Chain A
Amino acid sequence: MKKEHNHMKNKKFGMCIDLDKCTGCGSCMVACMSENNVPFREDETDKRKSITWMKVYKITNNLSFPDTEVCYIPRPCMHCEGHDGHSPCVSVCPATATDYDMSTGIVSQIYTRCFGCRYCMGACPYHARYFNWWDPVWPAEMEKYLSPDVSPRMRGVVEKCNFCYPRYQRALDNAYNDGRSDIDEDEYQTACTQGCPAGAITFGDLNNKSHAVYKLKKSHRAFRLLERLGTNPKVYYLSSKEWVHRAGDNYLEGENLKNIKKSHH
C-alpha cells in the first residue's frame, strides 16, 4: 500500500480552465452529457434534480450596472486528492462505491456498488455529485447515439464526472494494440475539453512536465475552488480578475489576500 501511494511517480490527471476565455456557452455541458449517456427529462429546470456532470455557473462582481462584470465557471468533478487520496466523498462512502485511483488521480464512481445513501453528495463541497431519482429513459430514436463504452446508471445511485474514464481505457487499449506501454497527451482528452469552442479547457497529466497543464497550473492567474478546505482539487482555474479569485475561495470581507495567496503555493 505504501508503494501504491507514491502519487508523484504515477499519473495525476487534471484540468486547467481559463475563465478569461470561457464565454459560458455551455458546449462543455452538452459534450459531457452526450459522451457520458447522461439522460434528460421533459423538465430539467429543477437544477437540484438535473444531472449535469459538468455545470457552468455564472457569477458576478456584485456591482450594479454599468459596472457589473460576469464570469462563467465550468465545474466538473474536482477529483480531490485531499491528503493521500482522502477526498471528501471517498472518505464517507460506506460501500466503497467511490475510490481514489493512485495511478491516475481519478475519483471513480462504481454504480453497481452504490446503494444511494448520498453521504458523498453531502460531503462534496462542489455539488459535483448527482442522484438518479428516476431510471434514465431516452427517446427511442436516440438510443442508437448512446456511447457504447459508457454504462448508463439506474435509479437510486449517485453519479458524477469521471474525467471520461472510458476514453482513458480506450486510449490504453489502442496503445497496447500498437505495442506501446504509454499514451500521448492528445490520446486521452475529455469530451468537455474537445467540445470547448474557446479552447478554455486544457486537460492532461499534472505530473508530466511535457503536458500543457503542468505549466498552466503554475500560472500566476491560477487558483482552485475552495482551496482552503484542504480538498486539494485537480481542477485549476485561471483568471486575471482578483474578484474571481476571491469568489472562488469564499474569502471574507477585509482579509489580506496577499497572505492567503502565499499559503496556496
Chain B
Amino acid sequence: MYDTKNTGDVLISLARTMGGSIAESFAWNSFEACLKSTFKDKWRKLDKEGFWFNPQKDITTCPDLDFSKLLNINLDNTQPQGSKSKFPLILIPKESIRISSGYIADPPFAVKSIPDTVLKNNDQVIEINPETAKKYGLKNTKYATLTTPLGEIKVKIHVYNGIMEGVVAMSKGLGHIGYDKFISGKGENFNQLIGPVEDPDSGFDVAWGIRAKLTRA
C-alpha cells in the first residue's frame, strides 16, 4: 500500500550510497540477509518461535552488556530533593491503571471507576501506612496538608497497611485544569509537587519522588 522500507534496509541502502569502508561494513543485500548471517543457526529458532535465549549464559558476565556495573551503582547517591529534618517523609507517584497519567485525561466512565480511596469529591486522597498516620496524628478520611519543597496542597488521608512506612503515595493523572466538568478540577497534579534531581551515575535528570511532610489540616 505504501512505499516503505524497514529501518535496517534504509541504513544498508544509505551505507551503499556513501560507498567506501562504510559500504563495506554494510555489505548485506537486505536487512533480512543481515539478520540471517548475524544470527546464523539461531535464526531458524527465532523465525519459528519468535525468541531465542541462552540458558547457560550468565548475564552478569556478558561482555557486551556488563550488568555487574549496574549492581555497583550506589542508589544512595541519588537523594530526593529537600532536607530530611524539615521533610521527614518521601512522596512518590502512584501510577494507577484506571487513571491516564499522560496528556489525554480520563474519560467519564474511567473517572467513575476510580475508587474513593484515590479521589473523594474533588479532593485528592493520598496513601500512608498506619504507623505513619499514628506518628503524625493523622486519621483515615480526614484532611491534611501535604508540603514538599516545591508546593503545598490539601489532601485527604487513606490509611493503608500495604504501603511502606514513611512513604506517601499520590496518584498521577489527576488535577487537570482543562477538559470538561467530568475531569477538570478533580484531585491534584502530582507534577506540581516534584522537581528533577541529577543522577550522579548517569548525569541525567531524574524525577520520581521528593521529600515531604504531612500536617493535620
Contacts and interface: CB of A to CB of B under 8 A. Distances in A.
Contacts, number: 61
Interface residues of B, number: 25
Interface in B76-111: 97-98, 108-111
Interface in B116-130: 116, 119-122, 129-130
Contacts of B45: none
A42 B162 CA distance: 30
Contact of A44 (B111, B130, B162, B180): B111
A104 interface: no
A43 interface: yes
B18 to A, nearest CB: 45
Contacts of A52: 112-113
B112 A44 contact: yes
A60 B110 contact: no
A111 to B, nearest CB: 21
A25 B97 contact: yes
Interface stretch (A1-9, A65-73, A157-165): A65-73
Main secondary structure of the interface of A (DSSP, over half): loop
A47 B182 CA distance: 16
A64 B162 CA distance: 6
Interface stretch (A27-35, A82-90, A205-213, A237-245): A27-35
Interface string B153-179: 000000001111100000000000000
Interface of B: 97-98, 108-116, 119-122, 129-130, 161-165, 180-182
23 contacts: A23-B97, A24-B97, A25-B97, A26-B113, A29-B113, A30-B110, A30-B113, A40-B109, A40-B182, A42-B181, A42-B182, A44-B112, A45-B120, A52-B112, A52-B113, A56-B113, A60-B161, A63-B161, A64-B129, A64-B162, A65-B129, A68-B161, A68-B162
Given A42-B182, A44-B111, A63-B161, 18 more contacts: A25-B97, A26-B97, A26-B110, A29-B112, A30-B113, A33-B112, A34-B109, A40-B108, A40-B111, A43-B122, A45-B114, A45-B119, A50-B112, A62-B161, A65-B129, A65-B161, A65-B165, A66-B164
